[in-house]
């Protein structure tokens, strides 16, 4: 009987040691920012239709998920067909993603919001969209106004070499110009004397759009044309104020977003120029590297 009790005590002590070591290992993993293999990896993504799809397409390109074949640029988390990394998605308003980053393992963030939060998309991202992105940021106007002289003047100034040089000098690859035939800032077909004293009004997000437009403003001022820039921090009002005629144009979005916005809101806006791409990127929050996704 004494031998049996002694054997049971030895087994109990051994199991206690195993559980203790296991607990320590899990605690050590937490301290090192590592994930337990059974714990889902959390990734925050934009909750608007086109940017959510863009984030998911990036994650697919990086090899972490597989989307349904027909998902395309309207993909949502419901279109994730294969999820071998056990990812849990949190859909969050795009502008809030930088501040929410610390609460998730990772987040996919638009470059304009990353830059505005002091995050360098080129240096700080763990994965980033290629420069051949279909999500080119555009100047948009109400349909029917595309050929107005002041809109043409705005486009020529924004497609200038001065703007391209400014982008290349100030954003270190986080904003990539796509203008193929830059102008000297002016449209030779326009009568700029007739435009003297005109004011062009435009809605823009603060970074980088309003910053870029400050260069455009100086170009137009050479012809005595005033560019009035109104900044917005959301993705809805800039389109509404152009559609209702309050402002002449906006500069903050890409065509997939514009098309989706028109379809959902009955607005009639069109693109008149594609200026740059802001590659969307994957950033580490609780995780500082990609080990949790390996």
Residue 126: per-residue pLDDT: 97
- Selected from 3.40.50.300, 3.40.50.150, 3.40.190.10, 3.30.540.10, the CATH number assigned to the domain covering 136-277 reads 3.40.190.10
Every domain of the chain with CATH number 3.40.190.10 lies at 41-130+281-293, 136-277
DSSP states along 128-153: E--TT-S-EEEEEEETT-TT-HHHHH
Give the whole-angstrom CA distance, residue 196 versus residue 147: 18
Orientation of helix 149-158 relative to helix 211-221, angle to 10°: 120
| pLDDT at residue 33 in the model | 52
| Residue whose tokens read 């809101």 | 265
What is the model's pLDDT at position 20?
Answer: 38
Q: Which residue has the tokens 């009568």?
A: 191
CA distance 168 to 45: 27
Of 33 and 128, the one with more pLDDT: 128
Q: Using CA atoms, how far apart are residues 6 and 59, in angstroms rounded to an integer? A: 56
Give the DSSP H/E element, type plus range, for residue 212: helix 211-221
Q: Is 222 exposed, middle or buried (0-12, 13-18, 19+ CB in 10 A)?
A: exposed
Using one digit for the tens of pLDDT, what is the confidence trace for 111-136?
989 998 999 998 999 999 876 678 99
Q: What is the pLDDT of residues 226-263, one digit of tens each?
A: 999 999 988 899 999 999 999 999 999 999 999 999 99
Among the four given CATH numbers 3.40.309.10, 3.40.190.10, 3.90.226.10, 3.40.630.30, the one describing domain 41-130+281-293:
3.40.190.10
CA distance 281 to 133: 12
The predicted pLDDT at position 60 comes to: 96
Task: Report the distance separating Cα 124 and Cα 107, nearest Å.
Answer: 12
Predicted local distance difference test score (pLDDT) of residue 131 = 61
Nearest-5° Cα angle at 145, 142 to 150: 120
* pLDDT for position 49: 82
* pLDDT-wise least confident of 49-53, 66-70, 79-83, 142-146: 49-53
Q: Helix, strand or coil for residue 48?
A: coil
DSSP 207: I
């Amino acid at each position: 009987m004494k031998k049996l009790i002694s054997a049971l005590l030895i087994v109990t002590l051994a199991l206690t040691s195993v559980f203790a070591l296991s607990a320590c290992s899990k605690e050590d993993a937490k301290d090192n920012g590592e994930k337990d293999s059974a714990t889902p990896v959390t990734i925050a993504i934009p909750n608007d239709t086109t940017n959510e799809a863009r984030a998911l397409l990036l994650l697919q390109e990086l090899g972490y998920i597989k989307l349904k074949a027909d998902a395309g640029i309207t993909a949502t988390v419901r279109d994730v067909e294969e999820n071998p990394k056990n990812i849990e998605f949190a859909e969050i308003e795009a502008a809030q993603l930088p501040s929410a980053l610390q609460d998730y393992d990772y987040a996919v963030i638009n470059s304009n919001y990353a830059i505005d939060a002091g995050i360098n998309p080129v240096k700080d991202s763990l994965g980033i969209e290629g420069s051949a992105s279909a999500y080119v940021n555009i100047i948009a106007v109400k349909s029917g106004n595309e050929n107005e002289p002041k809109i043409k003047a705005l486009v020529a100034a924004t497609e200038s070499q001065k703007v391209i040089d400014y982008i290349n000098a100030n954003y270190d690859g986080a904003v990539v110009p796509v203008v193929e035939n830059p102008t000297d800032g002016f449209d030779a077909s326009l009568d700029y004397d007739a435009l003297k004293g005109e004011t062009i009004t435009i809605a823009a997000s603060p970074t980088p759009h309003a910053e870029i437009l400050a260069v455009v403003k100086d170009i137009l001022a050479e012809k005595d044309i005033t560019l009035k820039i109104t900044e917005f921090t959301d993705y809805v009002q800039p389109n509404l104020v152009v559609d209702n005629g309050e402002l002449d144009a906006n500069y903050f979005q890409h065509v997939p977003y514009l098309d989706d916005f028109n379809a959902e809101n009955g607005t009639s806006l069109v693109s008149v120029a594609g200026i740059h791409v802001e590659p969307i990127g994957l950033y580490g929050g609780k995780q500082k590297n990609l080990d949790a996704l390996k």
